[in-house]
Each structure stands twice: as structure tokens, then as C-alpha cells.
Amino acid sequence: CLPYADAHARKGGTLHLGAFGTFENLNPYGVNAGDSAAGLAGPVYESLMARSFDEPFTLYGLVAQTIETDDARDYVTFRLDPRAHFSDGVPITARDVIFSFDLLKAKGRPQQRAAYGLVRSIRALDDHTVHYDLAGANDRELPLILALMPVLPAHAMTERKFTEDGLGVPLGSGPYRVAQVKPGQKLVLRRDPDYWGRALAINCGLYNFDQVVFDYGRDDNGLFEAFKAGLIDYRQETDPHRWVDGYDFPARRDGRVAVESLPLGGPKGLSGFAFNTRRAIFRDPRLREALATMFDFEWLDANLFSNLYARDKSFFDESELSALGRPASAAERKRLAPFASAVRQDIMDGTWAPPRSDGTGRDREMARKALALAGQAGWTLQNGRLTRDGRPLKFEILVVDREQERLALYYSDLLRRIGVEARVRLVDEAQYQGRRQRFDFDMMIGLWQASASPGNEQRMRWGGHSADQEASYNLAGARSAAIDAMIAALQAARGREEFVTAARALDRVLLSGFYAVPLYHSPAQWIAYWRRIAHPKALPHYAQPLFGDVLETWSETRSETRSPAPDAAPAPH
């Protein structure tokens, strides 16, 4: 078993989960994957290989029984497990792998299309062997990215179904089948009694519930009340106010509900208000730094978040990959030498850190520093408004929910102190996703989660080629030869020392660009659950969040059938 799974976990029972929002499709791999229902990637659709979240980036056989590559990683060959089959009994063959690759390369998400576009050719050596030619890609992570490709059924899937049939019941090869769909409201997964991979070591102690029910709610308070009433088994809390004050209810007091603050390992990424540098007003990093200077984390954390959060300071925070507080090594300086202007001296020296306020909420020194930085970019305070060439600085912050709106309004109030007008616009999920994909925004909140093994995802977040690629994750519109070179170095690294050097150099370039106003993160994951379910004592070191959509490592703690039955539990709308 994986170190964080329990080989003796009880099998059976029904797990009830709450999901915030709604869903419009059952395709987690298309361009509109953000509107997809939870619990499909992994439990229903399987990939060639599976991750261990106790290691930075190690894969084990799943649909693929073996993997072969050379030292240069100029090719990769997968040999499929001859026992593998889809839930309708049809065997998985090389034809399905090639079909999936071609479909996702043409119609998948931007990061898939970018990575698969590096493949020179793909061919079947026999019914169960697939060979990829990777010559010239110079990307040592690419074989692993291809190993995580989902395998879709060539006999039951078409390009039209993939792109248009959003609520068609999917056919996969995983441990669960989709048993019931109420569009936008409920999804029920049921264990496949003929699942081919139940005896694989990688699945030992996983997928223990017979049935998983997702009830969707458009209001998080309603989902919380459903949890308190016992209609939902598990909750991951994200509201610090509720975490501090909201869990004093009878079931918690008498021990039927448990609450835990579980430590999160691995690098912490960065969340922040992303500047869309495609907009002319945000093209100068000095102005971006000025606006970032005004965010008063210390007052916010103390007065609104009970000092539960830590400030985001690096794109690989709290790890050896972070440049924060570290002078650049000789190897880093050599790597960055062709891009002398791309990294600020204080960031190169390791002396830079996000500004700290005095915690009063009216720190005048922060405002003076912000105005000085804005002045370097040609902006001056005139009649209470920050202007350049007679035009005042004003922009829109796009948000999608009330929590984002509150945070944006707080930041807008801070900016008003230096004469900046930042309007906050709340839109629905569909409009928000559409505008994000078209880059039709001035500023919005972005999340750049960190991996212990960063690689191809950095190209889609920061690579210059992705700046104008619709639906890419390059929210900031970054275009930098230095960024592209550091990402290339990251992907070509052949050893840990070379890899860490490239990651820190990339971190320095990104920090110097001031592409976002750094926000904050919780050092722990806050969870609450009814004691009829439980998780193993060991936790995965590199997983964020710690548990997957269907709580793969969890199980029932007693043999009785849970009540109410899944169809009787009302959706918490």
C-alpha cells in the first residue's frame, strides 16, 4: 500500500459530500473543465500511471503495467496491463491510448495541448504497447506528463461527444461508475463490481466506499447547515471565522463530529490579485509594486482572520525551491547572467520580502512608499487622485463570490488612500469563467499552487507563448525571455542540484516582475467530519489538499448502513 493508505480499511457504505456551486458537464478534461462535476478524474477516468503523494513526483503503474525510456528521455514506451478494461467490459488497447492522445492534443485543455504538442510522433507497437517519439523536446518531465494522460474509450467517445455532450454519462475504467446525475444538483458514483484494478498495489486501501454522493449547494452557509444536520459526512473549512466560532454545536460537543487542523507539507504556492499586464496601465512593474505595497496583510490577519494565516512570499514558499531569504548561488547567477535586468538586486541578494505594516490599518509609511514607487512610473497624486498625463488610475477587480468580493472591497478601500479607483464587480460563474478565458479583466484573484516538482505547468502559467492563448493559465499575460529560459532550464534539469537552481532562478524572475499582489495561505487544512467515517493516521506529505474528491483513503468506522439513503437526502440549496 501507499504509506498513507490503510490496507485493512473497511469496505462498504455510502459517503455523502457537499460541493459548492453547480456543474454543467461531466468532462474534467475539456476547455470548460472548471464547470465539470467533482469526483471523475481518477475514480471514473483512469490514467496510464498514478501518483504517490508521499513523494515529489513518483508514478506507479496503473493502466500501464510498465514504462521504458532512455537517459536522454528522447522516447517513452508504455506497455498496457492486459487485464485493464473499461466498465463496459471492453479491453483497453493501444488504440484507446492513441485516440486519447490525439483527442486531448486537439481539443483538451491548453496545458495538455501544449505538452502533447512536444511529441514528435506516437505509434502502436502492438495491441498493448504504445511508443512516443520525444526527440528534440528537451523536456525530462514529458514522459511523466504523458503517463498522467487519462485513457478514454475509442469505441464510445467521439470528438463531438467530448466537446458537446456535456452531461452524457461517462464511460471510464476506474473503480466507480456514474450511477445518477441531476444536472447541477447531484452526482452519484457507485462502485464497479467488475473493476479490473482492485488487486493492484497502487489501489491498496483506496476507494473504500460502495457509493459516493455529491450534493451541490449554491450557498456555503446552506452546505454548512447540511453538515451540522448530518446530511453531509465531511467538510473542508475555508472560512476562519467559522473555524474559530462556528463549530460549537451539539454533535461536536458530544463527540459525534470531529474537527482537526492537519499540517500541510510541501511547497506553498502563491495566491494574489493578478495584474493583467495586457492592459496598458499595468505594464510597468514599478506601478504594480506600488499597488501591491498597499495591501495590509497584518491588519487583515489580526482583525478578520484571528491570526490563522501566513503571508504568501514566494511562488515555492516554505521549500528549498524558494528564493526568499537566500542569496543567489553562483549557479543561479550564471543562469541569470544573460538577463541582467530581469531580477532586482534585493531579490538577487535574498533581502527582499513583502512589506509589513504596523498593524494599525492606517500605516502612512506604506502609503508614502507606494506613492514613491508610483512616481517612478510617472504617476503623481493630484487633487486626491493618482494620475499620469492627466488621466486618473482606475480599474476593475473581477470577483466570482461574496468572499472574493469582501476581500476585493477591502483592498479597494486601501487603494483609495493613494487616489486609486478600483471598482469591484461581482459576476456569476459562467460570466467569470468566460471573461477569465478571454483575459477580459483588469485584475482578478489567481492561485498558483506549488508542486514539489514544478515543470510543464509553469509554461502554461508564465510562458510567453501562452500569453495570448485563450483559456491558458497565464492570467498575468507574462512575456519574458528570462522566464521562458528559466522554465526551459527547469524542464531540462538532470539532477536535484540543477533542478533547485532553476526553480530558485525562476522564482527570482517572477518575484521581480510583481505580477500579483501576494495574499495569504493557511499552514494547515481545517476539516470536520462525522465519526462514522475516518482517515488513516498517516497523511500524504505532498498532497494539497490532503484528500481527493472522493476521500480515497477514508472508510466507514462501523458496519451499519448509513441513513438517510442517498436519494432521500435533500440537496442543500
Which three-class secondary structure state does DSSP give residue 106? Answer: helix
Per-residue cell: 516: 500579483
The CATH number given to whatever domain includes residue 386 is: 3.10.105.10
* Within-domain flag for 464: yes
The pLDDT value recorded for residue 34 is 60
| 142 domain-assigned | yes
Instruction: Give the sheet arrangement for strand 421-426, strand by strand.
Output: 421-426, 394-399, 443-448, 270-275, 516-518
The residue with cell 496601465 is: 281
Tell me if 4 is assigned to some domain: no
**CATH number, position 216:** 3.40.190.10
Neighbours of 571 (CB within 10 A): 20
Of 442, 441, 399, 392, the residue nearest 418 (C-alpha): 392
Domain extent for 362: 270-521
Q: How many distinct structural domains can be found in the chain?
A: 3
**Is the CB of residue 511 less than 8 Å from the CB of residue 518?**
no
Within this chain, do residues 18 and 55 fall inside the same structural domain, yes or no?
A: no
Domain boundary pick from 106, 133, 161: 161
Residue 22 lies in a domain: yes
Residue 114's pLDDT is 87
CA dihedral (265, 407, 402, 275) positive or negative: negative
Instruction: Compute the half-sphere exposure of residue 556: CA atoms within 13 Å on the CB side of its CA.
Output: 17
| Together in a domain, 18 and 123 | no
Q: What share of the chain is helix, strand, coil (3-state, %, to 5)?
A: 30, 25, 45
Task: Tell me: do 214 and 352 sit in the same domain.
Answer: no
In a domain, 126, yes or no: yes
The C-alpha atoms of residue 270 and residue 295 are separated, in whole angstroms, by 15
Rg, C-alpha atoms of the chain: 25
The reply to whether 299 and 402 lie within a common domain is yes
49 and 97 Cβ atoms separated by less than 8 Å: no
Shared-domain flag, residues 535 and 511? no
pTM of the model: 0.86
Split the chain (573 residues) into runs of 10 and give each run's mean pLDDT.
96 96 88 79 97 94 97 96 98 98 92 92 98 94 96 93 83 97 94 97 97 94 96 96 95 97 94 98 98 97 94 96 97 97 97 94 94 97 95 97 94 97 95 94 96 90 93 95 96 93 98 98 96 96 93 84 41 36
Other C-beta atoms closer than 10 Å to the C-beta of 423 total: 12
In this structure, are 413 and 303 located in the same domain? yes
Query: Same structural domain for residues 275 and 323?
Result: yes
Evaluate whether residue 168 is within a structural domain. no
- pLDDT at position 165 is 66
Rounded to an integer, what distance in angstroms lies between the CA atom of residue 321 and that of residue 338?
21
Of 195, 155, 189, give the one whose Cα is nearest residue 173.
Answer: 195
b vs e for 170-191, b when ≥16 Cβ sit within 10 Å of the residue's Cβ?
bbbbbbbbbbebeebbbbbbbb
Beta bridge partners of 59: 51
**Residues 185 and 41 sit within 8 Å (Cβ to Cβ):** no
Residue 6 lies in a domain: no
User: Is residue 476 within 8 Å of residue 516, measured between CB atoms?
Assistant: yes
Domain end residue (candidates: 131, 161, 191) = 161
What are the E-state strand segments in 227-334?
234-237, 257-263, 270-275, 310-311
- The verdict on 204 and 105 lying in the same domain is no
Residue 534: exposure state from Cβ atoms within 10 A (0-12, 13-18, ≥19): middle
Give CA–CA dist 313/45, Å, rounded. 36
Q: Nearest Cα to 179, choosing from 532, 484, 567?
A: 567
Q: Is residue 422 in some structural domain? A: yes
**Under 8 Å between Cβ of 401 and 374:** no
Looking at the structure, do residues 76 and 224 belong to the same domain, yes or no?
no
Q: Which residue among 135, 161, 187 closes a domain?
A: 161
CATH code for the domain of 108: 3.90.76.10
Specify whether 24 is located in the same domain as 128: no
Residues 116 and 235 grouped into a single domain: no
Neighbours of 453 (CB within 10 A): 18
Residue 439, phi-psi category: left (phi > 0), alpha (psi -120 to 50), beta (remainder): left
- Could you say which DSSP state residue 361 is in? S
CA distances from 29 to 154, 182, 216 (A): 15, 20, 20
Instruction: State whether 229 and 318 are in the same domain.
Output: no
